[in-house]
């Protein structure tokens, strides 16, 4: 690996740091309250604006990674490719099933609403009865599957950035959820694991 490739991987890692830090920061209640004061009645569109910007940034990181000359962690084989497909497919299924419990319009933001005033019901059904963060579980499986399908350093950076983000990301997200739902969420925490399902009641 030459110095140019090294700097490209550093840039990719920094991009993921900015993306994940922005995700946690812009989802925090304090920042949302300040943005609502600044945006006024237009705050109802905040979720849609955020979703669009996050999507473009997310896709941009993958486009940038694709422009880096690949350095292979190991050479792909039929076995790693097949297993990668299986994991990514499982992750996609979990994501789709998890989203069935959520209003896609409210989640993405095309149904405008003030999420600081309109508290959604805490979802504990479906995959949310097995893990508190099924979408994060889905992302882990998809990113791991992608790495096995394209086992280069860029794919490994994608996966490692996600895995390093999840502990602090979950901590701050659940701190917000406790502030919103109180003892109801604390009881949910006691009974349901964060990411790895137990499949036992």
Confidence of residue 1 (pLDDT cuts 50, 70, 90): low
The top-level CATH class assigned to 3-191 is mainly alpha
Q: How far is CA 197 from the centre of its chain?
A: 18
Higher pLDDT, residue 110 or 147: 147
pLDDT value of position 200:
59
Residues 93 and 95: their CA atoms lie apart, in Å, by 5
Give the tens place of pLDDT for each residue, 70-92: 999 999 999 999 999 999 999 99
pLDDT value of position 199:
62
DSSP H helices, 122-182, are: 134-149, 153-181
Among residues 46, 64, 60, 51, the alpha carbon closest in space to that of 23 is found at 51
Residue 89, phi then psi, degrees to nearest 5: -65, -45
Give the tens place of pLDDT for each residue, 149-183: 999 999 999 999 999 999 999 999 999 999 999 99
């Amino acid at each position: 690996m030459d110095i140019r490739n090294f700097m490209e991987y550093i840039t990719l890692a920094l991009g993921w740091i900015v993306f994940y830090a922005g995700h946690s920061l812009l989802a925090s209640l304090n920042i949302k309250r300040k943005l609502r004061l600044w945006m006024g009645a237009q705050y109802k569109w905040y979720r849609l604006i955020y979703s669009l910007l996050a999507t473009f940034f997310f896709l941009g990181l993958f486009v940038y990674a694709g422009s880096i000359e690949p350095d292979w962690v190991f050479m792909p084989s039929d076995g790693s490719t097949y297993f990668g497909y299986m994991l990514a497919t499982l992750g996609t299924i979990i994501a789709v099933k998890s989203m069935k419990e959520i209003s896609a319009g409210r989640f993405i933001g095309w149904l405008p609403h003030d999420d600081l005033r309109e508290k959604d019901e805490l979802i504990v059904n479906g995959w949310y009865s097995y893990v508190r963060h099924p979408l994060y579980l889905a992302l882990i499986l998809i990113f791991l599957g992608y790495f096995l399908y394209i086992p280069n350093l860029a794919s490994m950076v994608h996966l490692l950035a996600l895995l390093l983000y999840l502990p602090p990301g979950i901590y701050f997200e659940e701190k917000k959820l406790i502030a919103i739902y109180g003892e109801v969420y604390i009881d949910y925490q006691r009974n349901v694991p964060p990411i790895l399902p137990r499949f036992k009641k």
